Each structure stands twice: as structure tokens, then as C-alpha cells.
Chain A
């Protein structure tokens, strides 16, 4: 679509596609990934990894293909988001490849199998998911039609791991399902479904939620029937997660819920209610669940019980050993930290890339959130605003919870590190989220379709059909 040439005097805002910028940034991101891969080989083995050219060619082809997908399917989409995500994903892949160098025969009690190839495959699937989202959802507002279906889907996805047969209990949390050779964490997909459900529901009911109701203790409480379904949905998801013993996700869903409610109603009181509920919930969790108590105690004084908190301590040692400039890729000892390839990958990155590298990674995360919120701000429709803001804030929360946990800012909870950690469902679903954000962004930055600006008598004689959302 070509920018409209307005012949009249009104200097219309001409949105720029900025696909060239995206290409330049993407090639930088691809460069980071390839150099990181080479650096791992040089650091750990002293040689450039064999097959680096094949891999580089593959990565470049995939990156070009992805930019072409965006060019064709979402030409006005935000040009920064995709390169940021490619850079993160590339760094994550290089780090997992790096851990593959030292972990086999040592990690997981010697059961460790190299993970980089699987992760590469999941990344490819993630890009497929990204493309599919952009292709199928050609207008994000169509998702509003699936509000309740999304809610139902979220519940089903969350219940699945509890079902005998396909549900799987790994490391104390029942959040995996078995699909043939793969195990999948449906919680990641449930997060997207919940965001869609909350957005759709709140758009429809926000006025009722905000205006009708009574004021209790300075907080405007809505009527029960407006609140009922959403509270029920939330209770079910949180309940399931407590049964699944995955409090990280529980915290994340709750945060998503409160934040979207706040955006929709513009009432900060909801944040207060949320905070109170969260604190009392945490306290209840502390009293009721041994593993929550253990996590909390580990946070307050990890060195008091070095045997039980070896993982966190090792991560902190790794970070400290990395120092300001880091050990260099391939030259630290991330294999000493259990699960440094997944939950503790930030510790591994901090050790080898140093404070400098870790801050750069945090800034990339911050920029992704910033782009997401910018999309929400500029979006013209309420549903898109809510969805984009919900996805962006939940992304920020997830990064905060997992990075804060590993660096001992807050107690440790099990959440995946988006785009970096090993794990298929996380990477595929996060790519899908990026697809959604780019779709909303494309819709937002796209020039408004020209409608009924009467410019001359001649044009008034043409019967114009009202233009739809897509041009």
C-alpha cells in the first residue's frame, strides 16, 4: 500500500513503513548471533566451530525470510521489535550451544543430552507460528469474536496437564503434557488465550465495571454480575496453578488480570486490591506450601543453607565471577549451575558476558516492553490497546520475576526466560505473541483509509462503500 498522496492542502501524517530500518537492525542482530556462536567455539574449544558457514547461511536465509514475511503481511509494523527478538533468540541459541560444550556427562547427573539442535528446531517452529499468526489474523479485532472461546481454551489448556495419561510431573510441577515425542507446557499458550479473553471481556464490560457498582473503603467495586465471569476465570486458573504447584505462572496470570482490569477501568484502586490480594495470597502460600516457604527462605538467606540453595548460590557465584566484562563466551563454568540452560540461563549469560552483556540483554527486554506499550498507546481501538498492553506488561512481569529470581532480587519462581531459555513451548508462544504485537502495530501505523473526505463535487457522485478494517 502506498502512502496516500493528499493533493489538498492538509498535510496529512504520512506513516513510514521503515522496513529498511528493520532490515539493517535485523542484520545486526543476525551478526550478533553468528559471532556469539563463533565466540563459543573459540572460547570453549579454541577453534571456529565446524559448519559455521552452513549455520550462518541458514540463519541469514531464515532472517531474510522473516523480514520478507513482515514486509508482505504487516508492512507498517513496528520495525524495532523483530530485530530485538532475533538478537535475543540468537544469543539464547548460542548460550545453549555453549552449555552443550561442557554439560554432557556432567549436568543432570550425567544424563544431559545436547539441546542446541532441538532449540534451533523450536525456533524454526516459532517462526512458523509467527508467520501463521500474521497470516491468519489479518486484523486483530477479529480475535474479539473469540473472547469466550479463548477463555474456554485457556481453561482447557490449564487443565490438560492434570489429566492422567498425557499430564506429566517434572521436577515437582505438573505443567507439562506429552504429545508423542514432545512434551509441551500449555501454560504458555494459555497466557495468550487469557490475554485475548480478558481484553475481549473487558472491552465489552469496562463501562459497567467502571461506573456501576458501589464504593467500599475508597475503592469502587463493580456489580457482582459484571465481575462474576472474570473472577471465576481467574479463580479457576489460579486454583489450577496452585494444584499444579507452579506459582510463577500463577503470579503472572494474576498480574495480567489486575493490569488489564486497571487499563480498562482506569481505576488505580484495582491495583491496590490486586496488591492486597497478592500479598495475602503470598502469605497464604508461605504458610500452606513447603516449597514456597523454602523459596522464600532461600531468598532471604541463601548462604544459610548452602546444600539446599546450591543452585541459586552457584548462579550468584557465576554472576560475581563474570564481573563487569564477563569471562567470555565458552570460558566460564555455567555447567556448575544446575539448569543453567533453562531457568538459570540469565546467570550463565551474566557469567560469560558480564555485567555489560547482562545489562544489554535487560535493555533489549526493556525495549521490547517499551515497543509493546507504544503499540498499545497508539492503537486506535480499545481491544487492541488492552491486548497489546496486557501482552507487553505480562512480558515485563515475566522477565522481572525470572531475572529477579535468578539474581536474588525477589524469591525464585519457576518461569521461563522469554527467547533465551531452552524450552519449545516458551519459544513458540513468545514468537506468536510477537506476531500478535506486530499485527496490532501494523494496524495502528497503517495510514487511515480515506473515507468521505469530500474534495470535489465529482467525488460526491461516486457511491463509496464503507471501507473495512483492512484495505
Chain B
């Protein structure tokens, strides 16, 4: 390790009690795509005192700038989406029962028997299911359709809940040994990481922080944020599934795990929305190797991040994604390792600290 790298390593922002508390607040807040208010408020509260410039744009993105100090500075956009998957109440029925629709990709098999929180007041409700005693064996071979489910808010809910209100799973944040169990770790991990990077911005770059909206319904916030910032390069900070579970027959190897817990930040080469700029892939790999930070290459394949919209904005923006691996995304709770988050922050901070114009000099190359 070079002396310069060693100095950088010493300055890496730490994940302590206050960072964990912030992540907890972020996860327990409700921010279904299109209604990111609660997370936006937390972001503004955290970023306002330190940003050189901050604004909320037409879609609800928070765009914050933290200027560096050198003469030649690369403008680096970092994007973390604030929104989460959830529900919208679409119809009121009798007796405290409401019909709902899903917002974002949610497997309906994850819904029966769950607690939810509805609206800005977080009113508690439940998604019930028919008692097993009343089902037939044939019936249990079919999944329960969303159209047959209701959110039950109790018989005297009155007009406190209306069609249009958003809802999320009611799961509260919890530490399980080396792990974190919470809803919406996709992508409050990214939001919390970006807040820390803003608070400890390396001064060799202009840090352009985009806390984006509507990622889960089509990467919509990131597109306009990238247009506004017009950066030299961009990184989407997100959370990606770890499918590191055994195969059902215990014999076959699971070779499609996407990422694994405990293996460090996931660096993207390609997903279904972006082919990462190879210069940026190499820059992150070299940084991880030089600084001894655990990392993994996300298995190329499906999925997408805000980078999918950003890299095609204006005349094109060199982009890459880095994710914290988490199991069971888009369900009532994810489980992720705290160490993987710590190492994601380490990798990003260390890599950003070494950005110079040479990184992007010349043409995109392999």
C-alpha cells in the first residue's frame, strides 16, 4: 500500500452507532415510489448543513453539490434511490377493508399474512388470508391472487385512509448478530452510504449527490438528475440480491447466486440496463486490491440500477454501479451483513479519493 493510499484509508468514514441509527430511521420511514417525502426529509435534514448547493427538482430528487478544492476536478455524480417498493390503496370496501395494488416488483406470494403501515400517519393494517381450515387441498396448490387480498385496518377506520394512500410492510429494523434485518435496505443502504460520502467528501472531486426518486418504477428520477448535473462520470449506489442459498436437492451447486453475503461490495460489469464503463470497473477493482478491501463481481445478468438511465443521458455518461449485497429484497425484510456495508463505504471513499482526470482521459476502452 502506498503512503498516500494509507492516508486515505485512515480517513475512511466509519460506521458507528450514529450511522446505524440513521440507517434504522431511513429503513423505518415510508417512501413508496412517487411519494418519497419521508426519506427526502431525512436526507435534507442530514445534508443541508454541509452541502454547497442543494435543491429538490421537479420529480422530487434531492440534488446536492459538495465542491472539491483542486484546480482540475472531475465532476462525479453519485446516485442512490430513495424510493422503495410498496402498495397503493385503490378501493375502499366495507368493514375497514381496502383493495390495494403493488408498486414495484413484489412477488404476490410474499403478501398473505403480513402487517403493513398505511399513509403518512403509518396506520397499522394487515393483509390476511383465508383460514387454512376453510381451504381445500386443491386450493392450496394455487397461489393467492392479489385481487383477492385486502388490507384490513379495523372496523372503525372511517375516512382516515383513502384510495391513493401508500403502504409498506410494517417490519421494523433489527440487528441480528453480524446482520441487519429491515425492510427497504434496497436502497436505504445506498442513501445512508451517500449521506456519509457527502459528509466526508474527498476534496479532489466535485461530488454531485443525487438522492433519486422512482427507481423502482423505471429509473425515472435518475434520468433528469443526470441531465441537471451533467457529470463527467457516475456511480449508482444500490443494494442487489444475494441468492447464495442451497439448491433444493442439496446436490446441485448453486452457480447463479448473483452475489454472496460476506463477500464485500458487488461491482457491476453488466446488468440488463447497463454495460459498465470498463475504465471504471478497473478503477474499482484496482482500488479494492490495492487497499485490501473485500469485493465481489456481481454475476452479469438481469436487474438494473439508476446507472441504466444515467449512462444514456445527454451525450452519454461513463457509469458503473456498486451494491451492498442483501438477501430477500422486495419482501417484508432483507437480511444483509453490516461488514458488507462497511466495505462498500470503504471502497467508494477510497476509490473517489484517487479520481483524477486521467481516469477518463481518451476514449472508452476495454
Instruction: Indicate, yes or no, whether A interacts with B.
Output: no
